[in-house]
Copies of this chain bind each other. A is one copy, B any other.
């Protein structure tokens, strides 16, 4: 189908993998068990050194008509990186340089294959802060941007989109284009950069990014606040936000899930009271400010029925709490068909979670949930047993339908990839879908880049 010798002449023989066993880890990502897709039989993994080599690969792909699947850290959960047609997996792993931490402009210039872990370390060494923390630190910068990653810390500073100020993008047709720069304002023509963000690797391959950094704020301090019922916890969230305190993160977790996760990890969950917790992370201009914000949050929650507040100030305690929180999806992993990613207006979360509880009862299943409560984004876990009983899709569609009725969408941060093709129409009208397909065709006329995604 395509000439491997040409690929070798572009990137060098050492950087083309044709042996199936050696490429196993490049054929999958973190897509949930119930949705996993089979990679195609004839796949070649190519590891270019720079944008110029990628450009040559893309030009070849257009000439010879083979699909290219760009691949970052492989931490996506929607099968976006899985090569489901015979073609090339383009691994970004060699574009791994943090080119600059610019303290004067508070910007980082990083290649797309830099991992979140690497970025955080470089920024930390410069005594600055990159606020978002969307889960897996093995994720690469290109993927974080292509998927507009969210995560727990979007309440105060927003999702990854807010941090992206400049991009170098390799277009499907082979051109290398720069967009934006170390710029905080830019109204120069239509904003192609905003279109590339969250395009899930179908409009272009991000090769470099300029990211906004912040000074280190005082804190963080982490509160775990316990409630005897979920609604009391959920009711407290808008009250906190309205009070003028904007925490960095406001997470809702079920007590049972945290106990189970801690036990799975061989450790303990520090909050022993209540059935529902808010995990709230606070930063501020100085220690007093952080402390006063914590006091205020604690008072508001007490007025709204909290039964206990635990404040973690040491790095270790906080890390422990966040570690348990970040591993919740592992607890049930073997038994989970799919983790949903619905987003609704923030004040509607509590009601939708109750409806999902009732739906769980109706289908005789437990649907564990964690919520980015400040953002209206939450993750119901659908168990494999539902799939085995042939009702998983039905339950999912009922949850999606209610979310959409409430003014929500089916994905807040995970994206669409190849796993939500059928459901996309539940929250997008035909004309919008048409325009999206038109955009795909405009950027990628021969449909060579991730050709089997939802929008093609």
Contacts and interface: CB of A to CB of B under 8 A. Distances in A.
Given A105-B347, A345-B183, A431-B175, A215 B190 contact: no
A284 B245 CA distance: 9
Interface string A416-456: 10000000100111011101101110110000000000110
A407 to B, nearest CB: 5
B187 A435 contact: no
A190 B199 contact: yes
Contacts of A343: 183-186
A198 interface: yes
Count of this chain's copies in the oligomeric assembly: 2
A265 to B, nearest CB: 27
A184 B377 contact: yes
A454 B195 contact: no
A152 to B, nearest CB: 11
Given A183-B343, A185-B372, A106 B190 contact: no
B104 A187 contact: no
Given A183-B409, A345-B181, A414-B187, A238 B289 contact: no
A410 interface: yes
A226 interface: no
B158 A162 contact: yes
Interface in A263-313: 284-286, 288-289, 292-293
A185 B345 contact: no
A177 B428 CA distance: 9
A427 B188 CA distance: 8
A428 B347 CA distance: 42
A217 interface: yes
Q: Which of A285, A343, A442 has the most CB of B within 10 A?
A: A285
A354 B288 CA distance: 41
Nearest to A104: B347
A192 interface: yes
A372 B188 CA distance: 17
Contacts of A376: 105, 182-185
B187 A412 contact: yes
Interface string A338-380: 0001011111000000000000000000000000101111000
Interface of A: 102-107, 147-148, 150, 154-155, 158-159, 161-162, 171, 175, 177-179, 181-192, 194-195, 197-199, 202-203, 214-218, 238, 241-246, 284-286, 288-289, 292-293, 341, 343-347, 372, 374-377, 407-416, 424, 427-429, 431-433, 435-436, 438-440, 442-443, 454-455
20 contacts: A106-B238, A147-B187, A161-B194, A177-B431, A181-B407, A182-B345, A183-B376, A184-B343, A184-B375, A185-B343, A186-B409, A186-B411, A187-B412, A187-B414, A188-B427, A190-B198, A190-B203, A192-B432, A245-B285, A289-B292
